């Protein structure tokens, strides 16, 4: 078979780090193709080329279609793709990690699997919500209670500020428009935040399913990481948006969320906070090693003697 023409697959070290990328890009009613190293977007108004390596998350709304060549580029560039429908959000694809090293994934699995270490990460996540308080002596149950009270107070304060009747977080994941305006706005904003958290986790080589506060779901760690920023980003935006008579509430929330995440450097902070939670200070070298039950690991690429212990 002849060589298939096209751009050479980029080396990982040549791709921008996730913290240096755009937060997300939302597209709808268009067709996506590939032109060299750019995503070619075609709609009724014309054509735009978007550098794939500059994006963290690509959100595809109703009426969008994408070619195999475009998905090939997106995967090579480490971009997370989310299909966004009228009835909620679905995570259908993600790019490859922007690292060849499994150090963060192994550390994540070690912390999840050990009850004492697992609890230490959970405590860190809760303590990050109370930066000016000493909550080190509170039990996990007390921390959960404090967090619940904090979020309810935020809802009450914003509802009063914007004159909105608030009866709690109520939504049907299978029917976006069944809930009221503020719950629709919360769902739309959280979807953007989940997408960014998902992109960061995948790009760094971690598992979205190995969560600490949330467990048992394929996106448990996504929910863990995103929850750290909801009170700062998506919840205030949702109440502000719901107080207005907007012709397209989800679109307004997406734009406001994108701007808030850019201004608040949420992408960079997610990368930093993930390293802090998993207790990783520096990136390790990209090497392949062999497992050894006594020494931990041994060098790869060596022909070991048959009589050596393995």
* Concatenated DSSP letters of 225-289: HHTTTTTTTHHHHHHHHHTS--S-HHHHHHHHHHHHHHHTTHHHHHHHHHHHHTT--SPPP---E
pLDDT at 88: 55
Supply the pLDDT for residue 26: 86
Q: Determine the pLDDT at residue 179.
A: 87
pLDDT of the residue at 239: 97
Quick: pLDDT tens for 157-206.
999 999 999 999 988 877 778 889 999 999 999 999 998 899 889 888 89
* pLDDT value at residue 18: 54
According to DSSP, residue 89 is labeled E
Q: How far apart are CA 231 and CA 241, in angstroms?
A: 15
CATH class given for the domain over 103-277: mainly alpha
Those residues of the chain that have pLDDT short of 70 are 1-22, 86-89, 91, 281-310
Cβ atoms < 10 Å from Cβ of 239 = 24
Residues 6+ apart with CB under 8 A from 261: 23, 24, 192, 193, 196, 233, 267
Kindly list the domain boundaries of the chain, sorted by start residue: 12-93, 103-277
pLDDT of residue 304: 59
Q: Check residue 13 and give its pLDDT.
A: 42
Q: Which residues contact 83 (CB under 8 A, 6 or more apart)?
A: 60, 89, 90, 92
* CATH architecture of the region 12-93: Ribosomal Protein L15; Chain: K; domain 2 (3.100)
pLDDT digits (tens, 9 = 90+) for 270-284: 999 999 999 876 545
Burial class (CB in 10 A: 0-12, 13-18, 19+), 108: buried
């Amino acid at each position: 078979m002849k060589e298939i023409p096209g751009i050479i697959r980029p080396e990982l070290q040549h791709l921008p780090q996730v913290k240096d990328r755009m937060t997300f890009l939302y597209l709808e009613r268009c067709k996506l193709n590939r032109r060299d190293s750019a995503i070619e977007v075609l709609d009724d108004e014309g054509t735009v080329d978007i550098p794939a390596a500059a994006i963290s998350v690509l959100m595809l709304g109703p009426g969008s279609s994408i070619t195999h060549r475009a998905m090939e580029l997106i995967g090579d560039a480490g971009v997370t793709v989310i299909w966004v429908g009228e009835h909620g959000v679905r995570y259908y694809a993600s790019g490859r990690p922007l690292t060849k090293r499994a150090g963060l994934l192994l550390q994540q699995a070690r912390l999840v699997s050990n009850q004492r270490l697992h609890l230490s990460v959970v405590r860190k996540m809760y303590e990050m919500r109370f930066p000016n308080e000493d909550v080190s002596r509170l039990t996990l149950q007390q921390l959960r209670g404090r967090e619940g009270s904090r979020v309810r107070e935020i809802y009450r304060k914003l509802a009063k500020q914007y004159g909105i009747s608030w009866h709690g977080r109520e939504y049907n994941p299978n029917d976006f428009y069944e809930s009221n305006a503020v719950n629709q706005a919360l769902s739309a904003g959280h979807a953007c935040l989940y997408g960014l958290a998902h992109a960061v986790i995948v790009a760094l080589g971690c598992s979205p399913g190995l969560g600490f506060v949330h467990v048992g779901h394929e996106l448990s760690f996504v929910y863990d990481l995103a929850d750290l920023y909801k009170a700062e980003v998506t919840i205030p935006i949702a109440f502000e948006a719901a107080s207005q008579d907007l012709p397209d509430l989800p679109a307004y929330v997406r734009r406001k969320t994108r701007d808030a995440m850019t201004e608040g450097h949420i992408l960079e902070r997610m990368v930093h906070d993930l390293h802090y939670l998993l207790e990783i200070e520096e990136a390790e070298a990209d090497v392949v090693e062999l497992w050894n039950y006594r020494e931990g690991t041994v060098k790869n690429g060596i022909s070991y003697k048959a009589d050596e212990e393995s």
